[in-house]
Chain A
């Protein structure tokens, strides 16, 4: 609605007015035109503002009534869509991978060949897997046992309750503590206790057997440690914390993990150092199949077994009670 000021004075404009018999604008002064324009502008703006407000309140109403619902629905649909897309792509990949068990697969190369053919001779371990994880690729396993350790430490940080709700250092083993512990559990279940008395030594013995024979037969530190950890958990379930903490408390966890991980690290440091500097390690491999054979694998298996057993039992006690 802006009219150019000089245009008003042009003769042609006046002629148009006269022809149209439209006298109105001629009577308007510049000030009035300006005023009129402002009024029109305001009207338009008001109208627009009103519509905007209406729209906003409509949206707000919708969001207040349905927003969360819609968001959740959309989120679900989207996540299902993403998961489906991912599955399709990965299934497509799997269909194109080399078929399982084919001797010409890329994975059946000189690496696997040497493990199988000269693994026994080079590591002294009848169990090739033990030779692989504890001798050929011992660095990975060193990292892996520290993964277990750091997982246990993280759970300890999160769940160990050193202070009671009253803000004082918590004493484990009081009557109240035992009461909490037994609240949801049957007290002194005779069947469980009798069976545990019989089974506990056998399970522990079997775990020790699996660890000690890790380099000769199937098994090793990880599986044997898990068996011993399961035995400890069973014992705890049958007899309660007052009994288990006589032989396994936080200090036991601390020092056993410490001793085994440090032993592992120092033994392997020696072996890595001599290996990298092409020195003779001087560790006898022994006669394959004997219990004292295959160099460092036996002590390393024992270390790994201790770490795994401690970690498993710690997880259990932390989630159960927040203390040992």
Chain B
């Protein structure tokens, strides 16, 4: 086994123990250590990606001395390593972008614990991406749940953040519970926890027609549990509060990565546990399709009504999650590929918007209301530029990242050739229009000269400038040279079989 094949496992262990190490360090030591670990993980994931791309084959990595159904194992393919690299990279950039806010928003005796949470969160995301075993998936879903709730809660002396955390915690635990019940039932009727073995048993069960009702309930429980956790439309009520009141880095991480981790797990379960044919025949995707369409429209309308920039961005996340579920709901391979692309696009765009929002708050006396933010884009020009890039990408203007995923969503909708095509195209058109309806007024507010005297301007930290430039660069890279990424995603999905 080549040395490079050990990196996925090492990155999980490094981040897990990194969290423990950060808990005994002081705040700034923890900051340096977690940055170092995330850089290492990013480089490791990229090397693994290069290795997997060159061999063109996924491989399984045995966790211990016992082979698969008895021991644990992780599976490394193109899509998995891509997501791991994306998650660790965006995690790093989000942390850098909101670093000074982290130290302002947490108590100085507890700021090291923020990095503990971030490290454990990244470990759980990596494990969710790589896992080949449903129960391992559940264990890391637990870590993910607690860490992401605590990331909202850690904001010092903010009553709103606490209320939002309670709401988030309850919804998230409900989702975990449904997911766990699903695993239990599935284990009872198949006798396995390893993905491949479950897939084999489920195919047999489906052919013979035994346990048909429990099987469809399992599909519903998995979809519903993970849809609650990833804030799909009727279950999105916790999201605006949690994302709107957390500190800047937390908002970026939660909207950019945590939601995506669960969606990726759902796609993985659909492909590798239940089997796509069965999912299509059970029409589970149709429900997700309807939820996605409703999310795209309701989320955008809610965003138009908001008078608070961060909450507006949070509602925009609801709409963007709708796009991803629309892609999954189309029920074709192209649709899933488009959904994966949109996961990537949203993960590199939304954290940039939140980081820019942090910059605007710095130059507007810490307020995130539109009335106070007037002219903030002129006071902090780099954040303003980043906001323009992000907004253009979210609306779907060519040469920006958002355009690519929208093009692929549209083409895959056209290829479906059914009633869904019409609904999907209409929803895409309306939602794009609505996106423009809230991003353009926001930009107008940010770039008009304020009537009042501006609040004193802070110098922007270098880490934040660097992170914003990297985000902008990534966005253009994705918008202009997307073909290799698209090919890799399609290859990666084919590898799921």
Contacts and interface: CB of A to CB of B under 8 A. Distances in A.
A261 B20 CA distance: 7
A147 B17 contact: no
B185 interface: yes
A25 interface: no
Interface string A82-97: 0000000110110011
A151 B188 contact: no
A17 to B, nearest CB: 52
A109 B189 CA distance: 12
Interface string B56-91: 000001111110011110000000000000000000
Interface stretch (A205-213, A240-248, A267-275): A267-275
Interface string A131-142: 000011111101
Q: Name the residue in A107, A142, A254, A273 with the highest tally of chain B Cβ atoms < 10 Å from its Cβ.
A: A142
B142 A258 contact: no
Interface in B19-66: 19-21, 23-24, 61-66
Contacts of B116: 150, 153
Given A97-B188, A273-B6, A140 B136 contact: yes
B139 A143 contact: yes
Nearest to B211: A96
B173 to A, nearest CB: 12
A283 to B, nearest CB: 10
Contacts of A265: 13, 16-17, 20
Contacts, number: 167
B401 interface: no
B347 interface: no
A262 B189 CA distance: 38
Contacts of B185: 93, 97
Interface stretch (B149-157, B282-290, B440-448, B458-466): B149-157
B332 interface: no
Contact of B23 (A137, A139, A254): A254
B23 A158 contact: no
B146 A276 contact: no
Interface string A244-256: 0000000000110
B208 to A, nearest CB: 12
A275 B66 contact: yes
B104 interface: no
A173 B364 CA distance: 43
A316 interface: no
Contacts of A160: 110
A274 B214 CA distance: 40
B107 interface: yes
Nearest to B188: A97
Contacts of B411: none
Contacts of B190: 106
Contacts of A266: 17
Interface residues of A, number: 58
A275 B71 CA distance: 11
Interface string A267-289: 01101111111100100000000
A14 to B, nearest CB: 52
Contact of B139 (A140, A273, A276): A140
Interface in A118-163: 122, 135-140, 142-144, 146-147, 149-151, 153-154, 156-158, 160, 162-163
A154 B153 CA distance: 9
Nearest to A107: B191
Contact of A136 (B21, B66, B150): B66
B70 A111 contact: yes
A197 interface: no
A315 interface: no
B437 interface: no
Interface in A73-120: 89-90, 92-93, 96-98, 105-111, 114-115
Nearest to A254: B24
A111 to B, nearest CB: 5
A311 interface: no
Interface in A174-209: none
A271 B64 contact: yes
Contacts of A262: 17, 20-21
A294 to B, nearest CB: 13
B9 A157 contact: no
Interface string B116-148: 110010011001000001011001101100110
Interface in B288-307: none
A138 B63 contact: yes
Given A143-B139, A258-B24, A108 B191 contact: yes
A40 to B, nearest CB: 37
Contacts of B147: 150, 154
Q: Name the residue in B19, B188, B192 with the highest tally of chain A Cβ atoms < 10 Å from its Cβ.
A: B188
A139 B72 contact: yes
Nearest to B165: A158
Contacts of B61: 276
A208 B203 CA distance: 48
Contacts of A301: none
Q: Name the residue in B62, B136, B150, B153 with the highest tally of chain A Cβ atoms < 10 Å from its Cβ.
A: B150
B198 to A, nearest CB: 10
Contact of A139 (B17, B136, B149, B214): B136
Nearest to A114: B70
B63 A272 contact: yes
A143 B13 contact: no
A139 B63 contact: yes
B192 A111 contact: yes
A275 to B, nearest CB: 4
Contacts of B124: 143
A257 interface: yes
B109 interface: yes
A68 to B, nearest CB: 18
Contacts of A268: 13
Contact of B6 (A107, A137, A144, A277): A277
Given A144-B139, A149-B120, A273-B9, 15 more contacts: A96-B214, A97-B214, A106-B189, A108-B191, A111-B191, A136-B66, A136-B70, A137-B135, A139-B63, A142-B16, A143-B127, A154-B153, A265-B17, A275-B66, A276-B62
Interface of A: 89-90, 92-93, 96-98, 105-111, 114-115, 122, 135-140, 142-144, 146-147, 149-151, 153-154, 156-158, 160, 162-163, 254-255, 257-258, 261-262, 265-266, 268-269, 271-278, 281
15 contacts: A109-B192, A111-B191, A135-B64, A138-B64, A139-B64, A144-B139, A147-B139, A150-B146, A157-B154, A258-B20, A261-B20, A275-B63, A276-B1, A276-B6, A276-B63
Interface of B: 1, 6, 9-10, 13, 16-17, 19-21, 23-24, 61-66, 69-72, 107, 109-110, 113, 116-117, 120, 123-124, 127, 133, 135-136, 139-140, 142-143, 146-147, 149-150, 153-154, 181, 185, 187-192, 201, 211, 213-214, 217
Q: Report, nearest first, the 5 A-B pairs whose CB atoms are least far apart.
A: A106-B191, A143-B139, A275-B65, A139-B72, A154-B150
